[in-house]
Amino acid sequence: MTVEIFRNALGWSALINYGILMIWFLFFIVAHDWMYRYHTKFFTLSVEKFDVTHYACMAFFKLIVIAFNLVPYLALRIVA
């Protein structure tokens, strides 16, 4: 595997993961009540706890994407 292929894979992976994050966020905003009702079938959650959990998970997902996709991509763009 060449550096260019690896760099392209990291770039596309970051783009796809940010797309997933945006879909998750939009779904959370638009269908909040439906998502809350669906999740409370399995877990006993207050609305506040549900919101905090989703925002925390979105933040964690974003940090993981930055750390494992975006930073290596940018490093390879600078080096190569």
Domain-wise residue ranges, the chain: 3-79
What pLDDT is attached to residue 24?
98
Give the CA diameter of the chain.
51
Residues of the chain with pLDDT under 50: none
Would you say the pTM of this structure is higher than 0.75? yes
Structure tokens given for 29: 């905003």
What pLDDT is attached to residue 26?
98
| CA distances to 35, 38, 50, 53, 77 from 47, in Å | 11, 12, 5, 10, 43
